[in-house]
Chains A and B, each alone.
Chain A
Amino acid sequence: MNEKVTLPNSKKFFGIRFESIGGLGAHAAGKILATTAVLRMGLNGAHFSSYGSEKKGSVVRSFIRLAPAEKLIRSSAPIESPDVIVVFHSALLKNPATIAGMKAGGVLIYNGSESDEIPEIFSQLPSTTKIIRVDAQRIAVEEKSRPNAVLLGTLTATVPFIDFSILLESFSEEFSQRHPEAVASNEKAFRRGAKEIDRLSNIGKGTDDLPIMRADPVWGYENAPIGGVLPLPGNTVHNDLTVSRMGWLPLFHKDKCIHCGMCDMVCPDFCLVWKAADNNEVHLQGVDYRYCKGCLRCVETCPTGALTREIETPGMADKHRVKLFPELEGGA
């Protein structure tokens, strides 16, 4: 099968950028979409993802550059002004870079739930941007699939030349080889992604394409210590790892805690907060969710059920958070 499709502008590249977290399947989704566009829709294309030394849970961007078959693709640089942006995790919308370069008249799809507030930065978007919300996380959980399946479905419903049945077919083929057991559930998630969408209107206030963003490094050659030496012990405490959690967090129930310290021995992210108690013991106070990646090793280890595995709902982490370093954020 090689159905010819036409891009909106035959002279220009069509750019799609996925903004994601390692583990949500953005790279795989980009690969499937681009491969389908090139090998089954008669387009020319390129696909790549941003690589640092990302582990599961850190920021990943995936880029798809498409062109008519006869147009050469030469540049291998990232796509700075995309026609379509797909945001795999709504927490990424706290960072303006996520939507940087959005073209006027483009499409922005994001993984979000109706009950969440509309992200503030959306007001910067051009008023002509089509903003699409899909609760990919919930659908993925319900269908035992992954958000990437849902979001691919959403793309077919919102970008005219991305054909629903062609993409679904190659998506299913991809899984039929390695994970035949996952085909049916992924298909369902894909179909729901194409249907259960909310088109938000009257949100973007801008007129033109959003400007691109290229961040300068913090230090430059005039002030960075020579040799790459870092005289800043432990300054990763300023990081916020909230986006690494994939929907679950541990909840602490003080009444059940015997302060045995077992959870502390297995927590890879040092997020348990302890305080000296009156009786010369040291007592667990709770979890600093700023650093918690939701691995739940602490829950698995706790002998008394004082830590439980919970689905993370909006605001939950802030409500229950106990700060490890109150001084960092000014006040307790």
Chain B
Amino acid sequence: MSDVEMKKGAEEKNKQRSDFLTGNDAAALAIRDVNYDVMGYYPITPSTELPEALSMMQANGDHEISMVPGDGEHGAAGICYGASLGGGRVINATSANGLLYSIEQLPVQSGTRSPMVLNLVARTVSGPLNIRCDHSDLYFTLNTGWLILLARDPQAVYDLNIAAVKISEHPDVRLPIIVCFDGFFTSHQKRLIHVFENGDTIKTFVGKPNTPITALDPKNPATFGAYMNDPDMINNKKQHSLAMEAARRVIPEVLHELEELTGRSYPILDAYHMEDAEYAVILLNSAAETAKEVADQLREKGQKVGVLSPNVIRPFPADEFRKALKNVKAIVVGDRGDSYGADGGNMSLEIRAALQRDPDNKTVVLSRIYGLGGRDFYDDDAEAFFELAQNSSNAIAFDYYGTYKGEPDRNPPKGMPPIKAEEVTRSMAKVTKNAETGKLDVELEPLWAMSDVKSRIAPGHGACPGCGIFPMLHQMYRVLEGDLVILFHTGCGMVVTTGYPKTAHRITYIHNLFQNGAATLSGLVEMYYERVRRGELPESSDITFLMFSGDGGMDIGMGPAIGAANRNHRMIIIEYDNQGYMNTGSQLSYSTPMGHRTTTSEVGSVGSGKNFHHKDTAQIFSACHLPYVFTASEGFPEDLMRKVAKAQWYAKREGLVYGKIMSFCPLNWGVRDDAGQPVMQAAIDCCFFPLYEVEKGHTTISYDPDILGTRIPAINWFKQMGKTKHLAKPKNADIIKSFETEVDRRWKRLKAMHEHEEL
């Protein structure tokens, strides 16, 4: 082949096509074509679409990345760490509190010099909970020892995901790397971008990973993570710092190499109209692009303005900033995140520090915190920043931009009057202890009699039509007596009831993130009893404490919940089980049944839904030897209410109660809004969701489809739901068999326990 022919061949091979993709889609495509070995992940908006897109591709046989759903982000980061010690390529994606929940692992990953790529889809850190974009999560990563690239638009997300692999694995660097892009603004916005037609182009570009020492090489044993004392630590960290310095050289090299392939360049510091700029605005990611648009308009009017926005912030391009700002009179640095009390956002502080090393520099630096919690950045906001830069002499150095003071007599709609304990203590379920059995008996009033008990939750919440969480709450509140204090884990129930400045809860309500609710509530319970003991609160107040979690919250929040159970606090934990992470758009939870389709267990030519069995949370808590554990369904109100009444009795007198309650989700089960009763009935009749209670260690089945003659094969349940329709196909017969075998095994075990007093 001649040189010309070879070049043509390469061009043909490296051809690009146009596509219209969101930032998340673009990242997923690059990830697919890098062909990572392992992805450890945990869903969190707005990064969730990334594993979702990869799950869809996987279901259609488009890649073979091993995708491991973590039990939480801390677990996901651990999965990634372990996988990276094995020498292959590792990818993860997260946002906000997901990042923070895993952050403890980040210095472990970097400190042991284990390369991997993390897509950080920037989102506001709680609390209060907010799902939209700012950079408060990104700023937490600045001291983790990771490299950080910033991707301003979907094209950059694609390109930098490719470059990241090579930078991270470079032998002089060997550090994990973050590619950060803006949640929603970039992650969910479709743009015209160019991608390689053939994934091999990327594979060739990144080459084979080269890890000299791995944990999968028994012939060359090595110790990873030795305990290191003071004389060594500082030297280890010096190495780390040198690697960061090496990255200053390696990053432009790799980006240049990529440019040769793509035709797209990424300078370390993106400078727009800066050649002769006298005033500049400095922003990260998507907002910088808006500022460029405005800079064009102002340039037309003759104003000498420009925009700076770094593509890399670790290592921080101090030199580049110094050079770019040499002759600039004033700048406004916009930070989408505050470093509270530091007199400026992180970028403004680092830029100030960079300029301080240039004795001749006279640039006025103004710091503005803007766009928190996803507040949009419009053209006129950029204009305001340019104006501020041009009138810097009277401006204060640090301020918030875009806040609102409030009007003295402007308030949200009024709340409802508090509910008196008497109004909700109406003996709708009378609980008595049976002297003979030692167990509790419950006498329930007829349903109609309950219908004028004051409700502790108001209508007007924003759940989907038909949502099962609310009938469940309603039924529980019918029989629970006296004052309640409730805590909700993050999830649908929390999100749809408390959209600020409104709340549907008429009683005291607390939210904490779903990894830690049980610990939080147990703390409050102890405070209550302690203050009663000290005489600071009246004993008569008699509060019952309840926590509500989704099934997902019992993945990520399992540890603290088991902790609370082992300590046996006087509280009730209710898990409403809708078989998935519904609030974030239906990803698999460990409680999702095998074979069921979710957005991270997709169905396609090779994928057939979730590939492991459902978690048996009730049995896990039963093994904590609690006074009372039960399962129920919002489709069986009387049974549910009897059990809840017992739960309150035990939680007040003996300790922690756990209840797992099946809850209807029409949206993500793929059924009509009014089909709750038949669908849940089928789940119970096929013995997937047995109704039973474990009272002081004794198991009693409350509803036995075998005895009642209502037992059905699982397929009769599956046929009713969109998420399981595919299981009716002959090719999925094995999945059904495996499901039924497992369900039957668990059911028989339960029956044996029901029959034997000692089990």
Contact = CB atoms under 8 A, between A and B. Distances in A.
Interface string A260-288: 11101111111110111000011010001
A216 interface: yes
B438 to A, nearest CB: 31
A237 B189 contact: no
B449 A234 contact: no
Contacts of B449: 261, 281-282
A233 B406 contact: no
A76 B503 contact: no
Most buried by B among A47, A232, A266: A266
A55 B503 contact: no
Interface in A78-100: 78, 80
Given A234-B457, A264-B447, A268-B471, A219 B412 contact: yes
Contacts of B583: 53
Contact of A230 (B292, B468, B498): B498
Interface string A34-60: 110011000011111101111111100
Contacts of A51: 45-46, 131-132, 184, 188
B421 interface: no
B464 interface: yes
B404 A216 contact: yes
A243 to B, nearest CB: 11
A76 B675 contact: no
B729 interface: no
B407 interface: yes
A58 B286 CA distance: 27
Given A57-B464, A220-B404, A47 B448 contact: no
Interface centre among A222, A270, A290 (most CB of B within 10 A): A270
Contacts of A282: 448-449, 451-452
B713 interface: no
A259 interface: yes
Contacts of A284: 451
A236 B456 CA distance: 12
Most chain B CB within a 10 A radius of its CB, from A52, A232, A234: A234
A235 B290 contact: no
Contact of A218 (B289, B412, B446): B412
Contacts of B503: 230, 232-236
Interface in B488-540: 492, 495-507
B462 interface: yes
Interface stretch (A108-116, A120-128, A152-160, A297-305): A297-305
Interface in B443-469: 446-452, 455, 457-469
Q: Which of B19, B407, B449, B463 has the most CB of A within 10 A?
A: B463
A297 B404 contact: no
Interface string B1-45: 000000000000000001110100000000000000000000001
Interface stretch (B235-243, B343-351, B358-366, B373-381): B373-381
A77 B290 contact: yes
A78 B452 CA distance: 46
B746 interface: no
B275 interface: no
A315 interface: no
Interface in A221-263: 221-224, 228, 230-239, 241, 244-246, 259-262
A90 to B, nearest CB: 19
Contacts of B498: 230
Contacts of B468: 268
A53 B464 CA distance: 11
Specify which of B286, B464, B498, B667 lies most central, judged by the most chain A CB atoms within 10 Å of its CB: B464
Nearest to A39: B20
Nearest to A276: B452
B464 A233 contact: no
A237 B471 CA distance: 17
Contacts of A34: 20, 190
Interface string B217-237: 000000000000000000000
B128 interface: yes
Interface string B673-687: 111110000000000
Interface string B402-414: 0111111011111
Interface in B634-665: 634, 637
A296 interface: yes
Contact of A270 (B191, B462, B470, B495): B470
A145 to B, nearest CB: 17
Nearest to A36: B20
Interface in B380-414: 403-408, 410-414
A288 to B, nearest CB: 7
A47 B462 CA distance: 26
A288 B22 CA distance: 42
A300 B675 contact: yes
A202 interface: no
A296 B673 CA distance: 7
A269 B412 contact: no
Nearest to A56: B464
Given A217-B501, A265-B471, 19 more contacts: A44-B192, A48-B22, A51-B188, A52-B131, A56-B465, A56-B667, A74-B289, A76-B286, A219-B406, A221-B406, A230-B498, A232-B501, A233-B503, A234-B415, A234-B458, A268-B463, A268-B471, A270-B474, A274-B451
11 contacts: A38-B18, A76-B289, A218-B501, A221-B406, A223-B406, A232-B503, A236-B504, A244-B465, A275-B452, A281-B448, A294-B673
Interface of A: 31, 34-35, 38-39, 44-49, 51-58, 73-78, 80, 216-224, 228, 230-239, 241, 244-246, 259-262, 264-272, 274-276, 281-282, 284, 288, 290-291, 293-297, 299-301, 309, 324
